[in-house]
Amino acid sequence: MNSSKNNIRYKEYQADVLVIGSGYAGTFAAMKAKARGLDVLVVDKGRAGLGGKTPWAAAFQCYDPASGQTREHTLESTARDSDYLVRRDIVEMWHEDSLQRYRDLVAWGAIEKNGEKNQGDVFRQQLRKNGVKLLEKVAIVDLIEQHGTVIGAIGFFNQRATAVVIKAKATILCTGSGSFKVPGYPIGSLTHDGQAMAYRLGAEISGKENVDPHETKKRFLCHPWGAYGTEYQWPILPKFDTLPPPPMKDGKPPIDGCAPSDDPDYVPLDPNAPPPPPPPFPMVEGDEMTYAALRGDVPVTPQVVVGGKGQKGPNVMPEDEELHFSATAGMAMHRFDGIFTRMGSHQTGVTGLYAAGDATYSAINGLGVSSCGSSVQGARAGIEAAEYVSGLHSLPEVNEDDIQQKVELVFKPLQREHGYSPAWVTQYLQNLMTPYFVLYAKRAETLQAALMNIEYLQKNVVPKMKAKDSHELRLVHETANMVLNAEMKLRASLFREESRGAHFREDIPARNDEDWLAWVIISQEDGKMKCTKRAIPDEWKPDLTLPYEKRYRKRYPGELEYRGAELNA
C-alpha cells in the first residue's frame, strides 16, 4: 500500500494491458491480449460480465457468407439505415470475425444448449481460468497520462474509499455507453465514463447528436430500431445448417442459436426464403400520430412498464396502448455515439489508449449486432493493444507527484464540508435533458436554453459536489461525466444543422447532403469543447444522382413540406 502527500492510501497494481470494463468487449479484449502471453488486468466498477449492458442482451447475430448474403448487401444496408454515417470499416470487421466470436461463446459455455445465454458467470470463469487478473467493484475515474502517452488509470474501491492506481503499458476502454433517462432512473450504467476519460486526454468523440430511445415502438419518430435494425437484420442471419440452432422455443426459431426474440414484431425466419423485399415507402408509418403524442395532443400517463428480461423502470407512455412509446426509458444509447477510433483500428488517437464496444462510435445496430459487434471489436482491440505492448520493454516511468495529485483530486469530494449532493445534480440533469423538446424534437432555441443550464452546472455546481461515503464518491464522478456528456449532446445537436438518422431538428426537418454527409467530431482544444465536421469518404456516400425522396426512405415529420418551401424560396 502506497500513500500520497496527504496520506490518502492507495493500492498499486501493474499490468502489460489494462482493460476497463468486463462486458462482451472487455472480456474478449482481455482474452485476446492474454492469449499473446501478456499480463492482463480487467477492472470493473460492477461484477465481471454483470455490469453494463451485456447481461441484457439476448440475440447475438453474426455474418455468415454461407447465408448467401453478400458483404456488399450488408455494407449498403447498414449505410442506408444509418443515413450513411456507419463506419464501414467496422462492418467489415464484423463480416470477418463475428462467426468466430459466436463459436468462442459456445466453447466457453456462454450459450447454453437451450439457447439461453449466461455471460456473467461464464465471463468471470473464463477470465480467471486463463490467468487474467480481475478487480471488481473498482470504479476508474481517470486515466494516467505522461508525455502524451496513457500509462494506466486511477480509481477506487466502491465499497471502501481506498484509492487504486494501475500502471500499464496499454489501456483499453470497454466501458460501455450511457443515456439520459427520466428522473429517478438508476444511472449506474448510463454514465459514459470511458468517453469522458478519453475526451479529457484529447481523443475524438462522435455521434453525440443521435438519440436512442430504443424501447420505443416503431411509431416514434427517429426510431433507431426501425431506422437501423429491422431493414437488414433478417437477410443476414447465418444459415442454420452452418450454425446448428438449439431446439425451437415457443414455436419460434431461435435467433442465431440464442434465445428467440420476444419482440411482438418478430417474424419467424424461413432460412430458405429469399431476402425480403425493400420496405414500402415511407418506411416508418404513423410518425404523425406519435408526434401528436409528443406534442401533448394525446394524454400521457407515467407508468411503470417491464421491458426486456425483467427490466423495470419508470416510463412515460400514452394512455392509448396503440400509441405505445417511451421516449426516455428502456435501453441506453449504444453504438451511435462514442469514441471515434482510427479507421480500421481501435486506437483512439492517444498513444497507449484503445477502445472497443459500446464505448465507441460505429452506427451499426440491429438485433444481435450490438453484442456481437462489441465482441468483435473487443477481440481486435485486445490484439492491437498486445501488438503495441510487444514493442515496449518495460512499464513507463511514472511521475509520482502527478499520481499523488490525481489521487487527491479523486478524493476531494469526500473532504468537502459543504457542497451539492450528486443525487440532486443528477435529478436536475435528468429533468433538463429528458423532455421530448430537448433531445428528441430539437430546436436551436431549446438546445441553447438547455446548454446555458449545463454551462452553469459545469462552472458552478460540478466542481462543488460533495460525497459523504465511497458510494456517493462514485456518484459524484459519474454525475460529472454525465454533465460533460450533456454538453457534448447539446453542442453536437446544435452544430448539425439538418436532420439525419436519429437526430431530428424540428426547425430543420430534412437532410442536407451538400453540407452534412459528415461526422460531427467533438474534441477538446485549450480546455474548450470544439465541434468539427469530418466528411465521410466519397465512396461511402449515397448515390447522389437519385432524387432525394428515393435516396432516403425514412421521412421526418414536416420534411417534404420543408424541402418544398426551401426549393421554392
Ligand X SMILES: Cc1cc2nc3c(=O)[nH]c(=O)nc-3n(C[C@H](O)[C@H](O)[C@H](O)COP(=O)(O)OP(=O)(O)OC[C@H]3O[C@@H](n4cnc5c(N)ncnc54)[C@H](O)[C@@H]3O)c2cc1C
Write out the residues near ligand X by the rule CB under 6 A.
20-26, 43-46, 51-54, 56-60, 139-140, 174-176, 189, 193, 308, 311, 331-332, 334, 357-358, 367-372, 374
Pick the closer one to ligand X by CB: 125 or 453.
125
Pick the closer one to ligand X by CB: 52 or 542.
52
Query: Shortest gap between Cβ of 139 and ligand X (angstroms)?
Result: 5
Query: Shortest gap between Cβ of 382 and ligand X (angstroms)?
Result: 12
Query: Shortest gap between Cβ of 436 and ligand X (angstroms)?
Result: 21
Pick the closer one to ligand X by CB: 122 or 441.
122
Query: Shortest gap between Cβ of 102 and ligand X (angstroms)?
Result: 11
Query: Shortest gap between Cβ of 174 and ligand X (angstroms)?
Result: 5
Pick the closer one to ligand X by CB: 79 or 198.
198
Burial class (CB in 10 A: 0-12, 13-18, 19+), 249: middle
Pick the closer one to ligand X by CB: 25 or 438.
25
Nearest in space to 348 (alpha carbons), one of 212, 145, 487: 145
Burial class (CB in 10 A: 0-12, 13-18, 19+), 50: middle
Ramachandran quadrant class, 119 (left: phi over 0; alpha: psi -120 to 50; beta: rest): alpha
Query: Shortest gap between Cβ of 418 and ligand X (angstroms)?
Result: 26
Which residues lie closer than 8 Å to 489 by C-beta, 6 or more apart?
180, 208, 209, 337, 433, 439
Beta bridge partner(s), residue 168:
15
Cell of 473: 464518491
Could you give the angle at which helices 470-495 and 422-433 cross, rounded to 10 degrees? 20
Q: Phi and psi (nearest 5°) for 316?
A: -125, 120
Pick the closer one to ligand X by CB: 331 or 483.
331
Pick the closer one to ligand X by CB: 28 or 556.
28
Which residues lie closer than 8 Å to 265 by C-beta, 6 or more apart?
218, 230
Query: Shortest gap between Cβ of 46 and ligand X (angstroms)?
Result: 4
User: Rounded CA gap, 20 and 195, in Å?
Assistant: 12
Query: Shortest gap between Cβ of 115 and ligand X (angstroms)?
Result: 12
Task: Report the residue count for the chain.
Answer: 569
Q: Coil, helix or strand for 420?
A: strand
> What is the helix (H) or strand (E) element at residue 321, kind and residue range?
none
The CA distances from residue 131 to 11, 35, 79, 134, 309, in Å, are: 21, 10, 40, 9, 32
Query: Shortest gap between Cβ of 363 and ligand X (angstroms)?
Result: 13
Cell of 288: 404523425
Which residues lie closer than 8 Å to 255 by C-beta, 6 or more apart?
58, 59, 60, 61, 237, 261, 367, 368
Pick the closer one to ligand X by CB: 203 or 494.
203
Pairing, β 518-525 against β 205-206: antiparallel
55 and 149 Cβ atoms separated by less than 8 Å: no
Query: Shortest gap between Cβ of 79 and ligand X (angstroms)?
Result: 19
Report DSSP state, residue 298. Answer: S
Pick the closer one to ligand X by CB: 226 or 368.
368
Residue tagged 470511458 (cell numbers): 194
Pick the closer one to ligand X by CB: 473 or 510.
473
